[in-house]
Every structure is written in structure tokens, then in C-alpha cells.
Structure 1
Amino acid sequence: MANPPMNAAQNAAVDAARPPRASDPPRASSPGRRVHQVPRKVIEQSWTRVLRRGVNPDHEFGPGLLGPDEVRRRRAESPLREVVPVLRAGLLPAADDARHIMIVADQEGRVLWREGCSPVLRRADEVGLALGADLSEEVAGTNGIGTPAVLRRPVQVFAAEHFVRSLTNLTCAGAPITDPRDGRLLGVVDVSGPHESLHPATLAWVESVAKLAEARLRETHLGSLQRLRAVAAPVLARLGGRAAVVDRDGWTAAVTGMPYVQRITLPKSAAAGAGWVPSLGPCALEPLDGGWLVRAVEPGGGRCGGARITLDLSLARRWSVTVSGGVGSWAQELSPRHAELLYLLAVCPAGRSAAELAEEVFGDPARTVTVRAELSRVRRYLGEFLEHRPYRFREDTEVDVVLPDEPRDLLPHSAAATVQRARAS
């Protein structure tokens, strides 16, 4: 039996356990580049990706910076604005003594906040790490923002492990921040400084602060639902039939005449009037302060044949599923685990048991409870289109999978054997 994959904390510990030392003998890896004799696996894999994508090791950040107005717009729209105070409190009190800076980037790798030790900020300015810089791995190579975003786990990048030459005078430790509701990537927080000022334990510290930020996001979400619930109570008390009050993202505050579900998938462009809701069928949508009143127009959603499901896995770190056809059209962004599970079902029309999926995903066929829990969450938005015993897409549903142009970019976080074979094809 294969060993089960390590969790994020274990991976982070392994990545940082053997940082490169100044005394390590370098070796030539690409024209003009010298790295340590035995690169860590996480770095070797990242360098392979960026070399394949043609990233320029002499990349200059200046021409690609976002303007101040665009940075302000992205800050205002980013969910991370709610947790920047948490990140500051956790990472900046010792910044001057420890000689480091904090960088917060959005899900695209754009730097939106940057604070900390003034001399290190000036050094960052010299290499182009200003507000609005693009630190995605496909642009800036291996680094403490882009690489954690691709892998969806904390990563420390020591000095010469950076792919772009201008970044090799810094050591970085970055951790992804995800939406605690659905696992969607919101951005990455990073601590950077001179190589001698950061310790391997820095990575665990940054990850802990990222988890505190996610906890704050969870608290904020629950608080907003509680406020919406107070608005919903008198509205639902006057209604008969099936109805729900949800926030703008479909998270449920209250229901009447139907079982409670955690989230209701709204139409792609929700607007007042008639619409199709996967779990309810034809519905009327009415705006409320902070959300929507969703009323089922007729009992039962019925079975919805003739639909097309498009599983879009073409991007390195953002995946989605779209349903279109006679049921209308709606889309759902996918967490890494849900994208992986839906891909495994899409390439096996006959279906897979919970044990088979557990073997693929975790290397342990006994972890069926985890698989069933994840697929139960998937069924909340795919509803009638996904069957079980075994798990599979309905036979009358057409399923299309949009793959990356480069097979090796398919679901880079996945260790499933089926995914690995597809990457090698």
C-alpha cells in the first residue's frame, strides 16, 4: 500500500528541514545559473515548471507593475482586506529587529500590501517588489508567493532557490490563505528578508498566522449570516412553500418548508426575477439587504437531463465546473480537492467506489469517510448530476474536461495515480 500523502504542516517541515547552506557545493542547472548540489524536491519541481513555461531568469518587474488606482481597486474588492490587521499583528511587531517584511498578494500573485523593516523594503524596491508586482510562478518563477499559490501549501524559498536572479538576495516563507467556506484560494502571505535573518521555523510561524487569518474570515462570515438571519425571520414567517434566504454567495441564513442546506448555488449572474437553482428547480429571486430571498416556484426540482457539464482545469491554480443546457447556466469555482475528485470521475464514466477514490487521492482505501464527506459537499452544487454507488456522472449528462495546454500542468497539487499518468502523457 502506498504511504498516504503528508499534510501541509508535514510538507512544510520537510521543505524547511534542510535549507541550503553557503558551504553547499553549487552545480550548473541552466545557462548562467548555479544552484545547490541536491535541490529540495519542492524547488526542483518548481524549477521544472518555470523552465517549461519559458520564464526569463532576468525578468524585470518594473514594466508589469499595476498602477496605484488598480492596486486600490483590488484591495477594496479582496476578501483579504478583512484580515490584513490580523496579519500585521502576527508578523510585523518584530519586523525591524528580525529584518523582514510582510508581503500580501491576491490569488493572481499581485502584491497588494507590503510593510515591515525599512532597509529591507528599500532592498525590495531595488529588485522591483513594489506594490502591484506580479509574483505568480508563471511570471516571476520560483518564489514565496507564486509557488505556495500553485501547490496550495506553505513553501520556504531560500536565496539562490529563487529562479529570477534579482530575487536571490532574499529568503522567503509564504503560506496560502484560502476561503474557509469552500477552500478557494484568496491569496498568499509571505515574510521575506536577507538569507541570514530567516530561520527554517519561520515557515511554521507564517503558516500559523495564515490560519489565524482564515479563522477571522470564518468568524466574519458567521457574523454576517447571523445579521442576515435577523432580516430573514420576518420575511420567511409570511411565506408558504419552500424558500430560503442566502447571502450574495449563496450561503444559507435561514429556510422554510425545506431541509436546511449549507449553501445554495445561485445562477451565474443572479438578478431579481425568475431563475434556475440546481437544488430547487425554477425559483423567484428577490434582493434583500446583504443577500437574496429564493422562493421555489413549483414543488420538486425534477431530473434535469440533457445538460452539459464543463470541468475547466486549464489554469494552474483556479478550476471551475459549469452546467449549461435546459437547466439554464451556472458555474462553481472548485477547491483543489473537489477539482481532483471530479476529474477522477470524469475520466471514468463507469464510476468509482468510495474506496477506489480514497486509494487514488490518499493512498489509503480505508479513508472512505473523508471521500464521502467531500462528495457530499460536491453534491450540494451538482445535485442531480452526480450519482453514487458507485460515484459517477449521470449517463444522460455530457461531461467535457478542459485540460491545460501543457499536460504536466494538470492539477499540480494532486498525487493521484490517474493524474500523474495524465501529466506524463
Structure 2
Amino acid sequence: MPDGRPRAVSDPDAYSVRLRRLHEAALNAGRPPDRALRSLISASWRRSMEAGVDPDARSAPPAFEHRDIQEVRSAHPMSALLPLIAETLLETASASEHILIVTDADGRVLWRDGDHRAMSRADEVGLADGFHWGERAIGTNGMGTALATRRPVHIFAAEHLVRALHVWSCSAAPIIDPDSGEVLGCVDLSGTMHTLHPATVTLVETTARLAESHLALRMRERDNRFRTHHGGHLRALRGEPGALVSATGRVVAGGRAQRWSRRVRLPESGDRVVLPDGRAALLDPLGEGFLLRLPDQPHVPVLTLSFLGAEHPSAGLDGARVPLSLRHAEILTLLALNPQGATADQLSFHLYGDMGNPVTARAEIHRLRARLGPVVAAKPYRLACAVEADFLHLRRLLAGREAAPVARAYGGPLLPRSESPAIRGERDELEGQVRAHLLLRGSPDDLWAYANTEYAKNDPHVLERLVAMLPADDHRGAAARIRLAGLGPP
């Protein structure tokens, strides 16, 4: 079964019995099985167990008093979406013995409606207004797991960690605010395991995307009003770098003198913000947003390094391509990894090992400075510019928990032709971290993309993981099995 979207099983009862056996085995062992479950479920069980969720809990815990529900609901941004969600799903829920649930970002139920008999039964486990369905509160479930993973999910019967929920199945999808990028809440359809088809997750996801489209339309209307009302502030800068920024940090308009990222990180207090390239900018309040402007300061060059998988490396300096020799690419990599700078002796050791000569390193630096100018500073040797390097970006992504951005950012080994001891060490460390990250957290799509790189195409562990995760009729699983067979016996 692919993660998030299990296929319909021919015998739900038999499959439920198998899941119950896996469930009991996991509780006895104190950890979920490695391969027998969908990775989505085993990861959720692991999070739930680590949070101390009681598998014998009888109900989700209350999140707030019943008398406060109306006030909490009306104050929440999801309240504006309730009519659209109800119009899309409520008739289906009522006609098919399901219940429709809307939560906030923490999994607290703001609103519920649907089939009356189903709601009466749902009351027994707290599937009702005001109860907490986050994973840390009640373990693996559609709402909590969708919110934890920021993706649509279908949870079937004994895939729930708590035994009292094994008669239920649920399909849920998070709703993400296009303005802030944060999860607003979740929409869920729940029913007994015999009434809720796995394909329901597609219907729920479509409703969530419809809600996000509604939010995006409202956001664009606000942006247009903001630009209309405050565009004069940008024009008053007379070509100096500046931008109009929303209250959530989105750049909604910018002058031509500066390339802006889509979003800036707003400070918790004060009127200064640090841009991704390290410069400080000022924020002038404009009611529903800000005017961002740069104080008078010299231009800071931007050096772009794309060295992952690069057989023939090059750099970009303020957008202009600069071809590089492998040795110069190695020096730039070392300086980017050591922003505090390095001496000729240190560079020589990193480049050549014990046999290195500082004179050779100085000569290479001299030739590199002839190509790039003062962005390569001396005493110590360092990069006197803003650096945007794909290997540094990958490092930052590896510090997080999301696998998909890592899979997208990984372009191959760092400078694969380099024999520099320091580069080899950095390359091997990055490869090991990417491999471990994707094996632990990667979806089938992430692992398949990784398995098609030169480094991982014949990795038996990656191929075995793909075979375990993908259904038998998936062409990627078939390709992984063929590659495994070609590797011979372990």
C-alpha cells in the first residue's frame, strides 16, 4: 500500500485481523515493525509511542470546555471555510453513514456533523466538538497524522494505535494557509471500517485544495489592495532597493533594483530584518504590511555555487556564469564551508593532504582572484560576498525532518571528480546523511528519485526499501527488483 493512499483490499476483515496482530506485536516489542506496515503508519506509531500515548485509552481527551466551543470556533480562521467545506462534503457524509470533522492546527475539533447514528457512536471515543485529536493526544489517526505530516492520509481500522479506534477508519487532509505557509487545520471524513472506502481520501483532499484556493483568492485580493494603496512608497525610493511586504512576511511587490526572495523572516520585535544574504533591512509599518528598504550601503555581490553532481563546475557571480577548473571549484567549496577563512597552509592541507605546498595554494588563489575579483579576500583567504551554494542548502535541509525537500535538492555527489581529502570527506558525509535521511523518512517518490542517481542506483538497502514500500504492480518496484537480482546474493 502506498503511503497516505492505501488501495482497497479484497477482504477488509482479514486485513484488519492481520493489522491487529501487527499491532499487538508492536506493543509487545515497544516499537513498530520495520517493513510489515506502511512507513507512514510505522512512523506515526513511533511518534505516538514516544509521546506516551496509552493504547488502551477509551477516548480522545477534551481540549476545551463545551461552553467555549462557539467562541473558539468563531475566532478561528477555519470558521470562514466551514460553509464551503459543509457544502462540499456534508451531504456525502450524511448519506453514507460518515461524519465530517474540521479541526484547528493542533487537532482540536472545531465542528462536526453528519450521519446521526455515526455521530452517536463517535461520541463514545470523543469524535466530537471540543476533543483533541492530535497525534500526541490520541496517537495515530487521520486528523492527527495528516497534521503531523502535512499531507492527506487514510487510516484504516487497526492502523490506529489506540485499540478503541480499531472499528473506525478516517480520511483527512490538512489545509495550509497560502499566505503564511502554516497549517490552519484539517478536514476529515470518519466512518466504520466497512463504510469508509480508502478512495475517500481523494475527495477530502480535493475539498482541502478547494479551501486553499478560496484562501489564495482572498490573499490575492488583499495583495492588490495593498499594492494599490502603498505603491507610492516604493516609487518614492527612486530606484533604491525596496519592497512591499505583507504582515506574514511575503514580498508582494519589489523594485527592479533588487532581486527579492518570496518571503522574509520578520522579527518578533523591532524594525530591522536580516535578509538571506546577511544584510540588514529596515521595516516601515504600512497598516496591513510593511515597506522594506535597505539603508545606504555598498553593493554585496552574490556568488552562486552549484557543485552537487557537477562534472564541469561553474560559478555564478551576480547572475553571470564563470567557468571554473576543478581546483578552483574545490577552493571555493572549502571557503564556503569555512566562512571564517583559511590560511594558505590550511588550504594546502585540505587540498593536497600532507604532501601539499602552501606556495601552490597561493598560486591557485591568485589565479582564482583574477577570475572572480575581490569577492575572494585575503588575510585570511575568505569569501567577501553572499554565498548561495547547493551543498550548503542541502546541509540545512538535512537538519529538518522533511524528506521531499532533501530529495529535490540532492543533485548528486559533491564535486564527484575531486580527489581533495577534505572534499572527499565532505562528499562522503553528505552522501551518508542523504542516504540515511531518505531511508528513514523518504516516500516512495523520494526514494525512487534517489535510486536513479549514480550513487544509489545499485544500493541494495535503497532497492529493498523500494520493493517493500511499493505495490507489486508499480513499475518502480519491478525495476528495483530487477536491479536487486542483478546484484547477486548478498
Q: TM-score, normalised by structure 2?
A: 0.56
Partner residue in 2 for 1:275? 272
CA distance in 1, matches of 2:391, 2:396: 17
For residues 154 and 84 of structure 1, what CA distance do their matches in structure 2 show? 19
Distance 1:145 1:187, change over 3 A: same
The correspondence for 1:175, drawn from 170, 173, 180, is: 173
Q: Which amino acid aligns with 2:433?
A: T
Q: Tell me, what secondary structure is at the counterpart of 2:41? A: helix
The CA distance in 2 between the partners of 1:219 and 1:195, in whole Å, is 37
Q: Write the mapping of 1:88-237 to structure 2, written as runs, cut at 5 A.
A: 88-180=86-178, 183-237=181-235
Provide the rounded CA distance (Å) in 2 between the counterparts of 1:415 and 1:235. 39
- SS of 1:81's partner is helix
Q: Per the alignment, do residues 400 and 175 of structure 1 end up closer, same or farther by CA in structure 2, a change over 3 Å counting?
A: closer
Distance 2:261 2:116 in 1: 45
Check the 8 A contact 1:282/1:301 in 2, yes or no. no
Shift of 1:246: 1.6
Match of 1:18 in 2: 9
Partner of 2:224: helix, strand, or coil? helix
Q: How does 1:188-337 map to 2 (within 5 A)?
A: 188-240=186-238, 241-256=240-255, 258-259=257-258, 261=260, 263-271=262-270, 274-278=271-275, 281-300=279-298, 302=300
Hey, what does 1:371 align to over in structure 2?
A: none
Q: Secondary structure at the match of 2:260?
A: coil
Paired AA for residue 418 in structure 1: Q
Displacement of 1:74: 5.4
**1:187 Cα deviation from its structure 2 partner:** 2.5
Contact 1:20 1:158 in 2 (8 A): no
Q: Is the 8 A contact 1:82 1:217 kept in 2?
A: no
Give the direction of change, closer, same or farther, for the CA distance of 1:40–1:249 in structure 2 (3 Å limit). Answer: closer
Structure 2 counterparts to residues 48-127 of structure 1, below 5 A: 48-61=46-59, 63-67=61-65, 75=73, 78-127=76-125
Matched residue SS, 2:194:
helix
Match of 1:421 among 428, 433, 436: 436
Relative to structure 1, the CA distance from residue 173 to residue 413 in structure 2 (aligned partners, 3 Å threshold; closer, same or farther) is: farther
C-alpha contact (below 8 Å) 2:61/2:132 kept by paired residues: no
The offset of 1:391, in angstroms, is 3.2
Equivalent-residue separation in structure 2 for 1:223 and 1:182 (angstroms) = 15
Q: Distance in 1 between matches of 2:37 and 2:241?
A: 59
Question: In the alignment, what sits opposite 1:315?
Answer: none
Instruction: Give the unaligned 5+ runs of structure 2.
Output: 303-332, 340-384, 408-431, 441-490
One-letter amino acid of the counterpart of residue 250, structure 2: W
Matches within 5 A, 1:327-406: 349=337, 386-388=387-389, 390-392=390-392
Indicate the residue corresponding to 2:410 in structure 1: none
Q: Which amino acid in structure 1 is aligned with residue 275 of structure 2?
A: P
SS class of match (1:391): helix
Change (3 A) 1:283 1:412: closer
Shift of 1:180: 3.5
Normalized per residue, which structure has more strand?
Answer: 1
CA contact (8 A) 2:8 2:197 kept: no
Shift of 1:217: 1.9
TM-aligned CA deviation for residue 75 of structure 1? 4.2
Q: Distance in 2 between matches of 1:170 and 1:275?
A: 51
Change (3 A) 1:63 1:86: closer
CA pair 110-288 structure 1, distance change in 2 beyond 3 A: same
Cα deviation 1:153-185 (Å, max 9, x = unaligned): 222112232211222232101122223357543
In 2: Cα distance, 1:181 partner to 1:39 partner: 36
Are the counterparts in 2 of residues 244 and 256 from structure 1 also a CA contact under 8 Å?
yes
Q: Does the CA contact (< 8 Å) of 1:228 and 1:290 recur in 2?
A: yes
In structure 2, how many angstroms separate the alpha carbons of the residues matched to 1:257 and 1:288? 21
SS at match of 1:83: helix
Distance (whole Å) between structure 2 residues aligned to residue 31 and residue 242 of structure 1: 59
Deviation at 1:219, TM superposition (A): 1.4
| Aligned partner of 2:40 among 39, 42, 65 | 42
Query: Does the 8 Å CA contact 1:151/1:413 hold for their aligned counterparts?
Result: no
Give the 3-state SS of the residue equivalent to 1:126 in structure 2.
helix
**TM-score of the two chains, using structure 1 as the length reference:** 0.64
Distance 1:180 1:233, change over 3 A: closer
Deviation string for 1:382-412 (max 9, x for gaps)? xx76522x5327xxxxx999979xxxxx547
Q: How far is 1:224 from its partner?
A: 0.9
- Partner in structure 2 of residue 354 of structure 1: none
Q: Aligned partners of 1:234, 1:256: CA distance in 2, in Å?
A: 11
Return the offset for 1:47: 2.7
Shift of 1:20: 6.2
Q: Secondary structure, in 3 states, of the residue corresponding to 2:52?
A: coil
Instruction: Report the structure number with the largest CA radius of gyration.
Output: 2
The amino acid that maps onto 1:29 is: A
Contact 1:281 1:301 in 2 (8 A): no
Per-residue deviation, 1:248: 0.3
Unpaired runs of at least 5, structure 1: 1-5, 305-344, 352-383, 394-398, 405-409
Q: Deviations over 1:239-291 (max 9, x none)?
A: 433332221012223334634635341432255xx413416944443222311
Kept after mapping to 2: 8 A contact 1:245/1:253: yes
The more displaced of 72-81 and 283-292 is 72-81
After TM superposition, give the deviation of residue 108 of structure 1 in Å.
Answer: 2.0
Root-mean-square deviation (CA, aligned residues, Å) is 4.1
261 and 400 in structure 1: CA distance in 2 versus 1, 3 angstrom threshold: closer
Q: CA deviation at 1:54?
A: 3.0
Q: Is the partner of 1:297 in helix, strand or coil?
A: coil
2-side partners of 1:391 and 1:267: how far apart?
26
Shift of 1:41: 4.6
